[in-house]
Amino acid sequence: MEIQVLRRLEEKNKADADQIRALLNQHNVKCFNIMGSPGCGKTALLEHVLPPLQQRYRCAVLEGDLYTTQDAERIAGMGTTVIQLETQGSCHLDANLVMRGMQELNLDQLDIVFIENVGNLVCPANFDLGEHHRITVVSVTEGHDKPSKYPALFTKADIVLITKTDLLEHTNFDIHRAKESIRKFNDHAEIVETSIRSAPPAALVAFVLSIVD
């Protein structure tokens, strides 16, 4: 009995995600789902990639959080359209909530939608949100064992950003080992080292432009 209910929910999420993708394609909007643990730098990355992208493209952000609008306020402060998706304690976004967010956006007036997922290394990976590409973020303060411990988040990523590399010397994070374990699960993703202090995430801007241009 229970198993059947779980399967229906999963199928429902897949159906909602397919509907989102169809809606986005109809409006020629590209969508990127950003995933990573709390504090890995998802919002900070957005703050750095939005200004160069917004010079040429119209962007919006769906900001997922359990509670509070703090991250949404940071994005809105940059003049970007932002819709808060408050999961009310749930640890991931699902396609139903994302669809409601998309319906609040004027997709005719947009080129790019970023979804900042709830900070979590586990279940966001299992929920298709109708995105075209997945961006996974892991910071050097989390430890190089995270990709091998939480492979699901890395398996389907199209680009992996290793952030806060300016803190590398203060950690025992082994970049080489981290990259090796990401490669075990994912042979195609671009793997990029960034630090918003010393090496602004130009590679992420370039990745997004390679999809949208």
Binding site for Zn ion (CB under 5 A): 91-92, 123
CB of 107 to Mg ion, least distance (A): 23
- Given the complex with Zn ion, which of 22 and 91 has the nearer CB atom? 91
DSSP 8-state secondary structure symbol assigned to residue 124: G
In terms of CB distance, is 47 or 174 closer to Mg ion? 47
Least distance to Mg ion, CB of residue 64, Å: 9
For Zn ion, the closer of residues 24 and 153 by Cβ is: 153
Residue 209 contact partner, candidates Zn ion, Mg ion, none, CB within 5 to 8 A by sort of partner: none
Instruction: Find which of Zn ion, Mg ion, none residue 134 binds, CB within 5 to 8 Å per kind.
Output: none
Least distance in Å: CB of 5 to Mg ion? 31
Point out which residues pair with 34 in neighbouring strands.
116, 135
Looking at the Cβ atoms of 30 and 42, the one nearer to Mg ion is: 42
**Binding site partner of 211, from Zn ion, Mg ion, none, Cβ cut-off 5-8 A by kind:** none
> Which one of Mg ion, Zn ion, none interacts with residue 71, CB within 5 to 8 A by kind?
Mg ion
- 21 close to 130: Cβ distance less than 8 angstroms: yes
User: Which residue reads 């998706």 in tokens?
Assistant: 85
Joined together, the tokens standing for residue 60 give 């919006």
Between CA 137 and CA 159 the distance in angstroms is 9
With contact defined as beta carbons under 8 Å apart, do 153 and 182 qualify?
A: no
Contacted by 65, from Zn ion, Mg ion, none: CB < 5 to 8 Å by type: none
- The residue count of the chain comes to 213
Q: Which residues bind Mg ion (CB under 5 A)?
A: 42-43, 71
Rounded to whole angstroms, the Cα distance separating 92 from 190 reads 24
- Rounded Cα–Cα distance for residues 36 and 88 (Å): 19
In the chain, the amino acid numbered 50 is L
Minimum CB distance to Zn ion smaller for 123 or for 206: 123
